[in-house]
Chains A and B, each alone.
Chain A
Amino acid sequence: MEFHELTLKELQKGLSNKEFSSVELTSHFIKRVQNSELNAFITITDDLALVQAKKADSIIASGKMNDLTGIPYAHKDIFCTLGVKTSAGSKILDPFISPYDATVSEKLNDSNAVMLGKANMDELAMGSGNENSFYGPVKNPWNISKVPGGSSGGSAAAVAAKLTPFSTGTDTGGSIRQPASLCGITGLKPTYGRVSRYGMIAYASSLDQAGPMTQTAEDAAIVLKTIAGFDERDSTSADKTVPDYEKSLNNSLEGLKIGIPKEYFSEGLDDGVKQKILDAIKEFESLGATVKEVSLPHAKFAIPAYYIIAPCECSSNLSRLDGVRYGYRCESPKDLSDLYIRSRSEGFGDEVKRRIMIGSFALSAGYYDAYYLKALKSRRLISNDFQEVFKEVDVIMGPVSPTIAWDIGSKKDPVSNYLSDIYTLSVNLAGLPAMSIPAGISDNMPVGLHIIGNYWTEERLLNIAHQFQIQTDWHKKSPKGID
């Protein structure tokens, strides 16, 4: 068995038993990253990785190993990393070398994980196909003419192509779950407030949440344990104990109540995808779960509400990227307004500009009530829907994406891109935890099952996903040519 064929859990065991060293492991993955043509990385930190691997080996030798000590990973380029370029896929931050570590980076460093590099992503986390990166699109390892999903497209493709045992991702409207679904890996978006946002370049502050992208639910449990937790530097992070997510992985699913929202199986859902999802849900019935149809009547407001709230927040969050203190600055500005206008016009891509424009418009005097306030009201209704449903069932299941991955360059209309987020957005609007796990292959492309839980039920979600993965081997399927 080669290193990349092992799960994180297996690598952890091997390192702990000193069957191999982190340096060996790291060198192997660096080679794979360097030989990959998927464009999954913006920056490869091979030198740094080897330094970290050596340090990890000495820690392992001293017997003070942590969960992720010596394990290589790809870090989404949205997390600030001290001394390493942190671009968030944008030209405007292309020259930005972060002078500090994000809390998530710090936690990974503290556990002596080994960073292989910074993963490619849609510019500033805006996109569903990873086609909006300043550094070019990422290719889906299952079919390189297709998108890997977005915005954590590089993170997902890297795990699917086995360039890394795990990746970090962030999810504002589906950016962990949708690429996980389209690339056939496991992705978890935790409850809002579970993982600190400090040092994560903000897209939409009230929706952004970081989480693990892995081969298996068990691996996701290990990574989440490390990165989760209260951070006094993030006022929106929750002061709640982090459970040992591995502990309950083997709990039985007997009596689990699954809700199937009828709104998630209506028009627009691809037949092939639908079939795989229904098959997966049947599998749960065989594990002792009961299934019930439920309704999320305000689900239809998710897209409009999200595409008001997220742009409003981003229009303000991105104001600091002004060419004054760091990042890209236009050539010889003639005055202050020229500096602002050209630095931002040249530095941002089309999709980012579009959302800044939408947000600025919606927040303008005279429009605020009609757009922003209305969107907030819709958000509350969407949230209430979930709470009603969770009175009856333990989890909600459905598709992550209405379709399998599409061809790079095929979606010219931004709205058709927005529509692909239909099942994921409401989870962010409500702040709930949710996962995508591999549930089948349709048209030679992977399909992800969406599992949505109530607040702070990550432990249960991981348990449910793990039991499914014991029963099935969809998560073990690899793209052709990658083994």
Chain B
Amino acid sequence: MEWETVIGLEIHAQLNTKSKIFSGASTQFGAKPNSQACAVDLGLPGVLPVVNKEAVSKAVRFGLAVDAHINQINVFDRKNYFYPDLPKGYQISQLELPIVGEGKIDIMVNGESKTIGVTRAHLEEDAGKSIHDLYDDYTAVDLNRAGTPLLEIVSEPDMRSAEEAVAYAKKIHSLVQYIDICDGNMQEGSFRCDANVSIRPLGQKEFGTRTELKNINSFKFLEKAINLELERQQDLLEDGGRVIQETRLYDADKNETRSMRSKEEANDYKYFPDPDLLPVEVTNELLEQIKQELPELPHEKKARYVESLGLSDYDADVITSSKAIADYYERMIANNSNAKLCANWVMGELSGALNKEQLDISNSPISPEEMSLLVERISDNTISGKIAKDVFKALWNQEGGVDQVIESKGLKQITDTGEIEKIIEEVISNNSAQVDQYRSGNEKILGFFVGQIMKATNGKANPKQVNDILRKKLA
């Protein structure tokens, strides 16, 4: 039987506010345990939450970026359950009236564009951390993270493959950084994905029973976990079994998912509106202000690159896929009119080198200004594209600036026609057999001559000039 995959994602993006969502304590990552938990975060008797306006603004910014309906009156609810890293015995979240309603975002998979629905996004507070392996007989609790603002972004079950799910997750990941609401750091848990996965016979309308995959902290694991789960579900169904609605934990070390709790064991969270907080009002003025402050969004940037810089759809998509790449690129083209060549170099040499050393573009050893100059030296015929690759290597190894490297290594292109002619004549006279072949109609042999000439000049001869002169001399 042919199966169809159905995936929906729940993404928790930690909002990069300075203080927590309901208290004034700092949200800085990595501080000494419990040093950033104030009376409110500790859930002392009598303390009360006060909504961080910055968190509200950031949530609205997200809503606007995914073209969503903003609920101008939205309500915080209490989600009640007991756990030691949940100090109040309830998490303040939003159930019935989330701040962000229905929206959408476009993804690109295999060159095809697809729209994924965003069901909603709501504000909530993070819990603390339970550390089970610090003491033999005790669990340690660190409440520094308790009360950190989260935006939970829920998608429609619109994705049909792990690939699409990853593309969507990456798109949201990039977007939240573009609009500066989340640092996107997956290692520190600032951006976390849960996947709801089910399969159904192709053509069937009803959804199959879904499982929820948790504990996924990279895009690679997201893809692996979903594919593992798809296989597991397919095996189950094809063997006549049935999928149980449950939460499954992804174990990256063992590369497996395992059951955490079934729906039957699921908590009754006894949600109700938090009486300590008034409904949040997003006024028209605030909404307008946030709209004005919204930076250029990735899809807008992409359109601009295609329309006014003449990049291809694909190139524009790659360059705008992350804010860091786009920022780098923008700095490159600030003083460089060859936008297309700049794009080629970012996507080619630079991204290859970065990948090889697993570096983020923001940590590139070559500044965008230097890269821009390198491209400029190709454009103004100082060096050839091929030589430029050597210059790039030297730049990467911190051997100096572009012009300095070209100068010290003597890489400047030979553009003196007389000099090139001299070398060409030498090559022609040393290879009379090949000259005959060319003259009897073998055009392909031209490459041989170019190769010889380049060898003789250490690749520094201007290829276009070489070609032109060579054809003349051989004619």
Task: Spell out A's residues near B (CB within 8 Å).
Answer: 79-80, 86, 88, 93, 96, 98-100, 102, 197-202, 204-206, 232-236, 312-313, 315-316, 318-322, 324-326, 336, 340, 360, 363-365, 368, 372
Contacts and interface: CB of A to CB of B under 8 A. Distances in A.
Given A198-B47, A235-B278, A236-B278, A320 B272 contact: no
Nearest to B49: A235
B45 A86 contact: yes
Q: Is the interface of A mostly helix, strand, loop or mixed?
A: loop
Nearest to B86: A319
Given A322-B89, A363-B80, A202 B270 contact: no
15 contacts: A79-B46, A198-B46, A202-B276, A235-B48, A236-B277, A316-B90, A316-B270, A318-B89, A320-B89, A324-B141, A340-B82, A363-B270, A363-B272, A368-B270, A368-B271
A100 B49 contact: no
Across the A-B interface, the 7 shortest Cβ-Cβ residue pairs: A319-B89, A205-B275, A363-B270, A206-B275, A199-B46, A320-B43, A201-B45
Contacts of A200: 46
Nearest to A312: B272
B272 A100 contact: no
Nearest to A202: B46
Contacts of B43: 320, 325
Contacts of A372: 272
Contact of A102 (B46, B88, B268): B46
B268 A233 contact: no
B47 A199 contact: yes
Interface centre among B42, B47, B271 (most CB of A within 10 A): B47
Interface centre among B89, B90, B139 (most CB of A within 10 A): B89
B47 A325 contact: no
B268 A319 contact: no
Contacts of B268: 364-365
B298 to A, nearest CB: 36
Given A233-B50, A235-B277, A320-B88, A100 B44 contact: yes
B50 A197 contact: no
Interface in B78-106: 78, 80, 82, 84, 87-90
A144 to B, nearest CB: 31
A9 B84 CA distance: 49
A372 B275 CA distance: 13
A313 B49 CA distance: 15
Interface in B52-93: 78, 80, 82, 84, 87-90
B286 interface: no
A361 B403 CA distance: 77
Interface centre among B39, B47, B48, B88 (most CB of A within 10 A): B48
Nearest to A101: B46
Contact of B45 (A96, A315, A336): A96
A80 B51 CA distance: 22
Contacts of B87: 320, 324-325
B276 to A, nearest CB: 5
A99 B80 contact: no
B272 A368 contact: yes
A102 B47 CA distance: 8
B398 to A, nearest CB: 52
Contacts of A202: 45-46, 276
B217 to A, nearest CB: 25
Interface centre among A98, A340, A363 (most CB of B within 10 A): A363
Given A234-B50, A235-B50, A315-B270, 7 more contacts: A86-B45, A205-B276, A236-B276, A236-B277, A313-B275, A336-B84, A365-B270
Given A198-B47, A322-B89, A100 B39 contact: yes
Q: Is the interface of B mostly helix, strand, loop or mixed?
A: loop
Q: How large is the interface on B (under 10, 10 to 19, 20 to 34, 35 or more residues)?
A: 20 to 34
A201 B276 contact: no
Given A99-B39, A236-B278, A322-B89, A316 B48 contact: no
Contacts of B50: 232-235
A99 B275 contact: no
Contacts of B276: 202, 205, 235-236
Interface of B: 39, 42-51, 78, 80, 82, 84, 87-90, 139, 141, 268, 270-272, 275-278
Contacts of B89: 316, 318-320, 322
Contacts of B270: 315-316, 360, 363-365, 368
A56 B398 CA distance: 71
Contacts of A86: 45-46
A316 B80 contact: yes
Interface centre among B39, B78, B276, B277 (most CB of A within 10 A): B276
Contacts of A313: 275
B44 A99 contact: yes
A372 B77 CA distance: 14
A318 B50 CA distance: 19
Nearest to B85: A324
B45 A233 contact: no
Contacts of A325: 42-43, 87
A294 to B, nearest CB: 29
Contacts of B88: 319-320
A404 B42 CA distance: 43
A324 B43 CA distance: 11
A318 to B, nearest CB: 8
A235 B51 contact: yes
A200 B46 CA distance: 5
B48 A320 contact: no
A200 B45 CA distance: 8
Contact of A80 (B46, B84, B141, B275): B46
A162 to B, nearest CB: 29
A316 B82 CA distance: 10
B300 to A, nearest CB: 37
Contact of A316 (B49, B51, B139, B272): B272
B403 to A, nearest CB: 59
A204 B274 CA distance: 11
B82 A321 contact: no
Contacts of A326: 44
Contacts of B271: 363, 368
A93 B45 contact: yes
B84 A324 contact: yes
A88 B45 CA distance: 10
B149 to A, nearest CB: 16
Contacts of B278: 235-236
A196 to B, nearest CB: 9
Contacts of A79: 46
B394 to A, nearest CB: 59
B46 to A, nearest CB: 4
A201 B39 CA distance: 13
A98 B49 CA distance: 18
A319 B276 CA distance: 15
B90 A201 contact: no
A205 B92 CA distance: 15
B445 to A, nearest CB: 82
Contacts of A363: 80, 270-272
Nearest to B84: A324
Contacts of B39: 99-100
Contacts of A368: 270-272
A133 B171 CA distance: 58
Contacts of B46: 79-80, 86, 98, 102, 197-202
Contacts of B277: 235-236
Interface centre among B39, B45, B46, B89 (most CB of A within 10 A): B45
Contacts of A197: 46, 48
Contacts of A365: 268, 270
B94 to A, nearest CB: 15
A41 to B, nearest CB: 19
Contacts of B78: 316
Nearest to A373: B272
A78 to B, nearest CB: 8
B13 to A, nearest CB: 24
